[in-house]
Amino acid sequence: MIETKVFSYTDEQFADLQMLRYRVDGFEQLTLQQKKLVYFLSEAALTGRDILWDQNGKYNLRIRKTLETLYTHYCGNREDEEFKAFCIYMKRVWFSNGIHHHYGCEKFIPGFSEQFFRTAVKQLPADELPLENGQSVDELCDLLIPVIFRPDIMPKRVNQADGEDLIQTSACNYYAEEVTQAEAEEFYSRCKKSHDPHPVMYGMNSRLVKSHGRLREKVWKSGGLYGAAIDRIIYWLEKAATVAENEKQAAVIRKLVDFYRTGDLKTFDEYTILWVQETEALVDFTNGFTETYGDPLGLKASWEGYVNFKDLKATERTEKLSANAQWFERHSPVEPRFKKEHCKGVSAKVIKAAILGGDLYPASAIGINLPNSNWVRAEYGSKSVTIGNLTDAYNKAAHGNGFQQEFVIDDETRQLLDRYQDDCDDLHTDLHECLGHGSGRLLPGVDPDALKAYGATIEEARADLFGLYYIADPKLTELGLTPDGQAYKAQYYSYMMNGLLTQMVRIEPGKNIEEAHMRNRALIARWTFEQGASEQVTEFVRKDGKTYIRINDYAKLRVLFGRLLAEIQRIKSEGDYEAARNLVERYGIQIDRELHEEVLTRYRALHLSPYKGFINPVYTPVYDEHQQITDVKVSYDEAYDAQMLRYSHDYATLPYVND
């Protein structure tokens, strides 16, 4: 009998999360060399997992080991309510790579008691627990219980509250406990030479510590902090270099190895320059310290890794945008002095993710634009990707789930969304990534970090607005990217509905908006709502006790997006901190409590999860009798918990305590 496994995009749901699966169609058609390259790079992408856990909080590795031992060795009744609540907590910790919410950053509170935890842990085999230097099991519990249970200890991974010491009040592990925000800011402003046209990304790859009253960096490199993990990443990268698709790609990988060996940030810039210029190979990857959202000061980069290959057909779409980058720059509503004179190297492609690792796992971005160094981007361009197979999985999972029926105002608008939404979403992501982030320029002498804690929100708003402004442009229909002049309305409606209403489903009652992308969406939607209020461009409509959004004038809304784009670009170009702060604080953060409660109630009734993450496929090499790889197989049937436990076992690279 032939057994056929039906692929399902959706998998288990727990807390506010749903697991999805993505397909890596086209992998079988790669050459053996490309398959090996994907496999070796995938191993490198999974190997850095422990680094991220430790970056997210200094107790995370010990907590993970303790929880996992409890999960696998619990000898009580597994149907017990407390144990079930424990399992949910375990799955949430896995999902977040730590004890704080992956998106909102708040610590989640367990649904089981301290008493249950202590009793259960004491029954576990001691050699399976992360006991340090003769520590007893009780001492381990004494250490971990307050961290897990007490709401006042390490309440937020990243605190963005204006006016507080953002470092002292954030639980992330990028600064030693005794370092203050003022000290860190002073330390890094002294690093910056005022007229260096090619500054490195100061502070990106280190923890800032204080010893004998002096600040210094502990660098993440081979032989340094996280060295054990980094050495194993190097091992896989060196294997990958032997099967690179071309000499340029091999040089990219070798330069990255150099950087991991030395921790030298100049070498890192050289690596990103080589990486951005390698555009020929089908397979590509990111591996390293990349995004800075996890640091309240936006300097320290969390570890991430992923591997992908180009989706040739879909890439035609983004290549059209790239080829016209200069046209878009020239016609944007931004003041000429803030525009780039020569838009170069905006390479854009649609890719298929082959593996997600570090800070991209299991929750992943769907569009990525790198590198992050402003001068490298200005002089060498950037690589921008839309991850087609993840978007596809989201779309497949969303069809028919009742969401639009509940929140979209009428049938006519629902039909508009049905017809255009999936395509427009992809296109907006393309515009955001390959044109938006790459557009505009800083005025000479402006510090790229001038907007500080507001920088990320302003930057995302800039890219989103670029996309919103242009998705309505006849040029896109001319290029064959939108089917007609109506399609953009689907994007406008869903954007405004999300920014004004439905993105609140991701926020807990009583909380405000924290995450940069969400702040940006609220900022754009509320600012344009307010600016268009006198003409009722967008309005709130109440029907049967429910609130909806109606857009009365789509063309006018586009004008407002353009006006805000010009202002946001001015703020970025001039480094106008006060203006950034005013906009973000006024429009991006607060939530109307009554409306929030209503949206949450309606959303709960749908039994949907506001956040999604992905279970990775499994790659299994096939060996011949000489231990040579003859093929690599991909499969999709590993369970979520099995995958997490396997990763914790196979990719355990770091000690429990990394000082």
Residue matched to tokens 């007609």: 484
Distance CA 188, CA 208 (A): 10
| 98 vs 294, beta carbon nearer Zn ion | 294
| 253 vs 346, beta carbon nearer Zn ion | 346
Angle between helices 114-122 and 81-96 (to 10 degrees): 90
> Please, what is the minimum distance in Å from the beta carbon of residue 333 to Zn ion?
20
Residues 6+ apart with CB under 8 A from 63: 93, 98, 99, 144, 147, 148
> What tokens were used for 450?
């001038």
| 572 vs 602, beta carbon nearer Zn ion | 572
CA proximity to 523, closest of 590, 432, 476: 590
Residue ranges of alpha helices (H) inside 123-221 are 137-149, 181-191
> Please, what is the minimum distance in Å from the beta carbon of residue 463 to Zn ion?
5
What is the pairing mode between strands 346-358 and 302-310?
antiparallel
| 253 vs 456, beta carbon nearer Zn ion | 456
Residue ranges of alpha helices (H) inside 311-454 are 312-323, 325-331, 374-380, 388-398, 403-407, 411-430
Distance CA 615, CA 247 (A): 33
| 463 vs 599, beta carbon nearer Zn ion | 463
Angstrom CA distances, 139 to 130, 226, 317, stand at 11, 26, 58
| 429 vs 482, beta carbon nearer Zn ion | 429
| 648, containing H or E segment | helix 640-650
> Please, what is the minimum distance in Å from the beta carbon of residue 97 to Zn ion?
21
> Please, what is the minimum distance in Å from the beta carbon of residue 464 to Zn ion?
8
> Please, what is the minimum distance in Å from the beta carbon of residue 611 to Zn ion?
18
> Please, what is the minimum distance in Å from the beta carbon of residue 368 to Zn ion?
8
| 129 vs 463, beta carbon nearer Zn ion | 463
| 229 vs 456, beta carbon nearer Zn ion | 456
293-332 per-residue burial string, b: 16 or more CB within 10 A, e: under 16: bbbbbbbbbbbbbbbbbbbeebbebbeebbebbeebbeeb
| 148 vs 463, beta carbon nearer Zn ion | 463
Q: Which residues pair with 21 in a beta bridge?
A: 615
> Please, what is the minimum distance in Å from the beta carbon of residue 369 to Zn ion?
6
> Please, what is the minimum distance in Å from the beta carbon of residue 206 to Zn ion?
25
| 371 preceded by a cis bond (ω within 30 of 0) | yes
CA proximity to 658, closest of 69, 53, 48: 53
Distance CA 361, CA 655 (A): 21
> Please, what is the minimum distance in Å from the beta carbon of residue 581 to Zn ion?
20
> Please, what is the minimum distance in Å from the beta carbon of residue 216 to Zn ion?
33
Distance CA 403, CA 408 (A): 8
> Please, what is the minimum distance in Å from the beta carbon of residue 519 to Zn ion?
13
> Please, what is the minimum distance in Å from the beta carbon of residue 432 to Zn ion?
6
Contact between residue 436 and residue 373 where contact means Cβ atoms under 8 Å apart: no
Q: Which residues pair with 620 in a beta bridge?
A: 633
Handedness of CA 344, 350, 356, 362 (dihedral sign): positive
Cβ-proximal residue to Zn ion, closest one: 463
> Please, what is the minimum distance in Å from the beta carbon of residue 517 to Zn ion?
7
Residue matched to tokens 């109630």: 601
| 281 vs 427, beta carbon nearer Zn ion | 427
> Please, what is the minimum distance in Å from the beta carbon of residue 522 to Zn ion?
15
> Please, what is the minimum distance in Å from the beta carbon of residue 276 to Zn ion?
17
| 166 vs 431, beta carbon nearer Zn ion | 431
Contact between residue 29 and residue 43 where contact means Cβ atoms under 8 Å apart: no
| 256 vs 463, beta carbon nearer Zn ion | 463
- Give the count of beta carbons closer than 10 Å to the beta carbon of residue 20: 20
Contact between residue 456 and residue 437 where contact means Cβ atoms under 8 Å apart: no
Can you give the binding site for Zn ion, defined by CB under 5 A? 460, 463
Distance CA 64, CA 109 (A): 15
| 154 vs 435, beta carbon nearer Zn ion | 435
> Please, what is the minimum distance in Å from the beta carbon of residue 367 to Zn ion?
7
Distance CA 98, CA 92 (A): 8
| 460 vs 567, beta carbon nearer Zn ion | 460
| 54 vs 464, beta carbon nearer Zn ion | 464
Angstrom CA distances, 339 to 437, 440, 442, 566, stand at 12, 4, 9, 10
Handedness of CA 186, 187, 193, 199 (dihedral sign): negative
| 311 vs 460, beta carbon nearer Zn ion | 460
| 617 preceded by a cis bond (ω within 30 of 0) | no
